[in-house]
Structure 1
């Protein structure tokens, strides 16, 4: 049985500055059957008169919103996260996807959909907390979307896709696991007397792995890994952030399970123990000069 978007998906707003925007977000969330609103360090009165004015009958969404101090805190309990960006992708190496292509992936597990600040969006460090990025295409004449409008578009895509998935499950017989179906044909509404059909993945563009690791487990691993790599000289303080971004992207593509993350963290703990327990030989560790003194120096940025 496919869990509902209402149960799985939280909408995360990072440092929203406009109470009218927050109220509008609450309203569209209720319109589309979502109720988990997370506010990261809000810069406005999200319970004030202006926010309530725009929320109309969705004031309950504001009243039950969770306020946290950081994005990692907002992602605790999630195993999947998609971030939105208005950038065209030139300043960030992760591929940008269309909402309709990427968002269905969130329906399968506890997930977060992250939106940035009204004036400057999300930083690269914040974007790296997500496994996938989406960008809503718009006219070149005016590319910037209002925060509440962007949330509305994404919430509608989730609502529409969840309805399509429900219809699909109602039509399929003798199938015990819908994720085993590689492609399905989804009928669209009749347009000018012609039915159009297009192949589409049922719920995601990537494999659905069981027991996926929560994002906070991965974050703990990244912190351990960075500490170890700094200790052995693979990373240097002034380049650590940029190189750790590459490790994050690598693991974001892999979707490791709880057991796999535990294994990786165990390797780090054992390595740290070995570093402390075994004294270094007075003889050079660089194999007679065959290796550089700092292997990290030969890595490209």
Structure 2
């Protein structure tokens, strides 16, 4: 049972630079029963000698790793995602792994197929950017000594994989209660949250419509959309709810285009014609 649950979790590495780190991550994933490694625009050879040296008996995890160009591609089909960061960000609540990670393992009422959760790690030299954090619903920071708080990438992945495995090894343990001010929506859901690719389509349409009606302006669109993404990611809307929201946007687009056509027609009717 634990193995099948852990098989639904993706370990997502954004632009990993060190083959030794990637190999060590593959090894600890296999140690803890995780199988699904996703590399976003890797800056190293995950099948090279250094990676294989550190992977030892986990070469199969490296061989099966999925390589994609962007983070949205890595999250396609996922319904829940937790991002890791070593520093506080504006309007971001940081939780320890032991509190947050079991949320990825909670049972869901599935619409189609199998629930997927993702645990996202940033590049070794910079961590995840604010834009990359927009693709997650919760955020984890590993407590460490303030004198040197930054962990090695492979070490951070190892701690998180260990916490996931340990939680499943103690099935009688209750799910940790999310600390205030996290919303109650993080309790087990009676429906399946929309996958991230479905949400991404909504965000793209929302930005287009808000620019068209003048609510957004090009120079401030990114910061405003950041807030919208955080809002809807926290809300965990279902696929049906996202479809309803997109229906509203489509109606706004239609009404705006119709109003523009009527406005042009009115101006044309008022323009004097030559006899």
TM-score range, shorter chain: 0.7 to 0.9
Aligned equivalent of 1:258: 239
* Cα root mean square deviation, aligned: 2.0
Alpha-carbon distance between aligned partners in 2 of 1:265 and 1:126, rounded to the nearest angstrom: 23
Name the counterpart of 2:110. none
Aligned to 2:12: 12
Q: Using the alignment, how far apart are the partners of 1:58 and 1:8 within structure 2?
A: 18
Are the aligned partners of 1:9 and 1:111 in contact in 2 as well (CA < 8 Å)? yes
Which runs of structure 2 are paired with 1:108-187 in the superposition (5 Å)?
108=106, 109-165=115-171, 168=172, 186=173
SS in 2 for 1:10: strand
State the distance in 2 between where 1:126 and 1:199 align.
27
How far apart are 1:94 and its partner, in Å?
Answer: 1.2
**Match of residue 192 from structure 1:** none
Matches within 5 A, 1:59-138: 59-87=59-87, 89=88, 91-108=89-106, 109-138=115-144
Equivalent in the alignment of 2:250: 269
SS of corresponding position for 1:141: helix
Structure 2 residue 38 is the aligned partner of structure 1 residue 32:
no
Seen in structure 2, the aligned counterparts of structure 1 residues 33 and 206 have a Cα distance that, compared at 3 Å, is same
Superposed displacement of residue 18, structure 1: 0.3
Aligned equivalent of 1:299: none
Rounded Cα–Cα distance in structure 2 between residues aligned with 1:146 and 1:2: 27
CA distance in 2, matches of 1:35, 1:3: 9
Any idea what SS the aligned residue of 1:113 has?
A: strand
What stretches of structure 1 of length at least 5 have no aligned partner? Answer: 169-185, 187-197, 283-301
> Match of 1:4, SS?
helix
Cα distance change of structure 1 residues 281 and 255 upon mapping to structure 2, 3 Å threshold: same
| SS of equivalent residue, structure 1 residue 160 | helix
The residue matched to 2:38 in structure 1 has which SS?
Answer: strand
Q: Does structure 1 residue 213 correspond to structure 2 residue 194?
A: yes
1:41 and 1:227 mapped to 2: Cα distance? 27
Q: Distance in 2 between matches of 1:234 and 1:18?
A: 43
The whole-number CA distance in structure 2 between the counterparts of 1:151 and 1:100 is 13
Q: Could you state the TM-score of these two structures normalised by the residue count of structure 1? A: 0.79
- SS at structure 1 position matched to 2:10: strand
